[in-house]
Amino acid sequence: MNEHDLLHPPVREPDITVRRFIAIVVAAILFCFSVPVIGTYIALHTFDCAECEKKTFDSEIWKHAPLQKPYPRVQMVDDLLLNYRLVGMTPELVEALLGPASTVDSTGECGYFTVLGAELSMFPIDPIFLCLRFEEGQVVDARIVEF
């Protein structure tokens, strides 16, 4: 053995299975990081969050709200439930505030049942409703219902 061989030992080529394993690990790591990035990009650029903006309840806007984007009732329902005492109201007061019910509850559980619009999600296809349950001529429960 000469001096050159001692200072520079021959480099051993890795086995083909080792190369394949390294390539698979690198590909898996890249895949795991790229899928969430691509998914986030798609979500941020296809879902208009202006629709998510909450608005103050306005009785006149509510009564005449179209059932199309940006679904004004969906934007106002949180303010309605938080700031208006629906529980205890009579059907006449509810109708004066919200207008007539827009649909009939097939379960019979809700005395007042109205469409709010589509759920606020990336793919808004499911409608959501406001359900007011009455007992003895007064609202005893107010909630949002999804089907």
Supply angle C-alpha 41, 42, 43, rounded to 5: 95
Asked if residue 2 has pLDDT above 90, the reply is: no
Count of domains forming the chain: 2
CA distances from residue 35 to 43, 48, 141 in whole angstroms, order as listed = 12, 21, 43
Comparing 1-10, 22-31, 36-45, the range with the smallest average pLDDT is 1-10
> Quick one: 65 and 123 in the same domain?
yes
> Are 110 and 133 in contact, with CB atoms under 8 Å apart?
yes
Q: Which residues of 10-43 are buried (b: 16+ CB within 10 A; e: fewer)?
A: eeeeeeeeeeeeeeeeeeeeeeeeeeeeeeeeee
Predicted structure pTM score: 0.60
Read off the pLDDT of each residue in 118-145 and give the average, rounded to a whole number. 82
* Distance between CA atoms of residues 69 and 52, nearest Å: 11
> Quick one: 38 and 62 in the same domain?
no
CATH no. for residue 73? Answer: 3.30.1450
* pLDDT, tens digit, 9 for 90 and up, residues 41-93: 666 555 555 556 788 999 999 898 877 777 888 889 999 999 999 999 999 99
